Amino acid sequence: MDSYLVCYDISNPKRLRKVARTCEDFGYRKQLSVFLVRVSATDFVRLRSRLYDIIDLSEDQVLFIPLSEQGLQRMEAIGRPTDPHDKNDVVMIL
């Protein structure tokens, strides 16, 4: 399993909701437009493909930032606390 921070900037509210729902299928919301996903290589391809089909390539952007396990463990927040997740978390993809 690989971990990614998925961040997006979507200009259309309808596409924005679809992108958020798709990311919820693969990971955990960390902020309004930021998700932490832990996926196999196959599921990462599926996630990218689904998002590619939703977004407008000329107006929207989705970033996939790979995270190392060490970097993930060192994640910290200021302000509101962030929910901790560990490598045993399970994501159900329907």
Residue 80 backbone phi and psi in degrees, to 5: -60, 140
3-class DSSP assignment, residue 71: helix
9 belongs to an annotated ligand binding site: yes
How far is 28 from 14, CA to CA, in rounded Å? 20
Residues belonging to the binding site for Mg(2+) are 9
Residues belonging to the binding site are 9
